Amino acid sequence: MSLRILKIAIGTELDVVGARQRAREIAVLCGFAMQDQVRIATSVSELARNVFNYAHGGRVEFSIEDTDGAQALQIRIDDQGPGIADLDLVLSGGYQSATGMGLGILGARRLMDLCEIRSAPGSGTRIVLQKRFAADAPRMTARMVGDMCAHLNALAPDSMLGEVQQQNQELLGTLDELKARQEELLALTRELEENNRAVKVLYAELDEKAEHLRRADQAKSRFLSNMSHEFRTPLSSIRALSKLLLARADGELSEEQEKQVRFILQGTIALNEMVDDLLDLAKIEAGKVDVRPERFMVADMFSTLRGLLRPLLGGSAVALTFHEPPAGLALCSDQSKLAQILRNFISNAIKYTEQGDIAVRAALLPEQGMMHFSVADTGLGIAACDQAFIFEEFSQIENRLQTRVKGTGLGLPLCRKLADLLGGAVGVDSVAGAGSVFWVSVPLTPMADRDDAPVTSYLHNPD
Reported confidence tier of residue 158, pLDDT bands at 50, 70, 90 = low
d(CA 9, CA 26): 16
pLDDT value, residue 455: 35
Predicted local confidence at residue 462, as pLDDT: 32
> Residue 66, Cα to own-chain centre: how many angstroms?
44
Q: Residue 329: pLDDT above 60?
A: yes
| Model confidence at 371: pLDDT above 90 | yes
Gap between the Cα atoms of 171 and 158, Å rounded:
18
- pLDDT band at residue 457, thresholds of 50, 70 and 90? very low
| Under 8 Å between Cβ of 238 and 292 | no
453 pLDDT higher than 60:
no
Q: What is the pLDDT of residue 95?
A: 66
CA angle 17, 23, 25 (to 5 degrees): 105
Say what the pLDDT of residue 78 is. Answer: 92
97 pLDDT band (50/70/90 cuts)? low
Query: How far apart are alpha carbons 440 and 293 in whole angstroms?
Result: 17
Mean pLDDT for the stretch of residues 351-368: 89
DSSP 138-193: PPP-HHHHHHHHHHHHHSPPPPHHHHHHHHHHHHHHHHHHHHHHHHHHHHHHHHHH
Q: Please state which of the ranges 325-329, 361-365, 368-372 shows the lowest mean pLDDT.
A: 325-329
Of 385, 307, 402, nearest to 346 by C-alpha is: 307
**Band of residue 449 on the pLDDT scale cut at 50, 70, 90:** low
What strand order describes the sheet that includes 125-132? 2-10, 58-67, 70-79, 125-132, 114-119
CA–CA separation, 208 vs 214, rounded Å?
A: 10
- Position 458 confidence tier, pLDDT thresholds 50, 70, 90: very low
For the chain, domain boundaries: 2-158, 228-285, 294-449
77: closest CA among 35, 106, 47?
A: 47
- In this structure, how many other beta carbons lie within 10 angstroms of the beta carbon of residue 318? 18
Question: β-pairing, 125-132 with 114-119?
Answer: antiparallel
Residues 104, 90: contact at Cβ < 8 Å?
no
pLDDT tens digits for range 44-58 = 988 988 888 888 889
Strands 317-322 and 355-365: parallel
**CA 82, 83, 84: angle at the middle one, nearest 5?**
130
Cα–chain center distance at 285: 30
Q: Are 336 and 304 in contact (CB under 8 A)?
A: no
CATH entry, 2-158, from 3.30.70.260, 3.40.50.300, 1.20.1080.10, 3.30.565.10: 3.30.565.10
Is 460's pLDDT higher than 70?
A: no
Higher pLDDT, 221 or 265: 265
Rounded Cα distance, 60 and 38, in Å? 17
Q: How far is residue 6's CA from residue 26's CA, in Å, rounded to a whole number?
A: 9
Q: What is the pLDDT of residue 452?
A: 47
Query: Does 294-449 match 2-158 at the fold level?
Result: yes
User: To the nearest whole number, what is the mean pLDDT of the chain?
Assistant: 81
Nearest to 355 by CA among 412, 299, 244, 435: 435
Residue 322 pLDDT > 80, yes or no? yes
The answer to whether residues 456 and 423 touch, using CB atoms and an 8 Å cutoff, is no
CATH fold of 294-449, please?
Heat Shock Protein 90 (3.30.565)
Per-residue pLDDT, averaged over 202-229, amounts to: 77
